[in-house]
Every structure is written in C-alpha cells, then in structure tokens.
Amino acid sequence: MKLPVIAYLTIITACHGIMGSALADDSAVLPAEKSQNGITYLSGGIGSDQVTAMKAAANDYTLMLVCAIGNTGAYLADVKINIADKTGKTVLETVAEGPIILVKLTPGTYQISADNKGSIIHRTVKIGASHPLELNLSWPEKRSSRQ
C-alpha cells in the first residue's frame, strides 16, 4: 500500500521540478524590466521563447502592446511608442526592442501613438484595475512600386 503513495509523491515532486524549471526558463528569456516616470515596462519579444515568456508575464502588467504587419502578421520592432495620460502628459516614450511591450499603468485613460517609419497609429485605451488589456497595433504591408 505504501509503494503507490511513494510512487505518487515521487511523480508529483518530479512534475513540480519540471514546472519550476520551465518557469525559471521563462524568466531567463524575459528582457530586463525598465522604468520611466515611475512606469515599469518590458520591451522585447525577439524569438519564439521570448514571445512565449512575455505573453506568460502579461498578467503582471496592465497593458500589452503587440506591433505587427496587419495582413501578414509579421512582428515589428523599432516602433516608436508614446503613451500619454488623459491630460496629454507623456508617461512613457520608448522604442520597441521587439514586437511586444508590457506596461504597468495605473487605471485611467491613455493616448497611445505608435510610429513605424513615419506611419503613425493613434489609439485611446482605458486601463482598468482587473485584467490586462491587449492592444494589437497593425500596419498595412508596404507595396512595392515595381510589379
């Protein structure tokens, strides 16, 4: 009778160790957390491991921005991001180091401007206290003038 209990506990312990390693691996691939004007954020998402880790970490932030080409879904980096509060004061200004930016904003209304090589998207978002908001910013694919 004791053998099945020992086997069960061994399996549980092994699974816990594997899960712990997976969580540790996620944090190892997360980009470094940064702060500006009291706003904490992460910027990255280079490679599938980091994208997965950032999406897993999104619940610890109030806003997740994802930058991509709309019709292809290809991720974008080097997008200039500006987030202003309801009074128009910039609270975060950065250049995306990858397609995903996670931001810890206090509840309220914010204006977001995202500039991809001169093509600017403006969005107004309302950040709540409960779950994170995911905002997908997508630009049309630039067509070549040659056919």
Output the pLDDT for position 145.
55
Query: Which residue has better confidence, 110 or 1?
Result: 110
Query: What would the pLDDT profile of 78-124 be if each residue is shown by its tens digit?
Result: 999 999 999 999 999 999 999 999 999 999 999 999 999 999 999 99
How far is it, in rounded angstroms, from Cα 81 to Cα 74?
18
Query: What would the pLDDT profile of 12-28 be if each residue is shown by its tens digit?
Result: 334 444 334 344 445 56
Question: How many C-beta atoms lie closer than 10 Å to residue 26's C-beta?
Answer: 17
How far is it, in rounded angstroms, from Cα 101 to Cα 112?
12
Output the pLDDT for position 129.
82
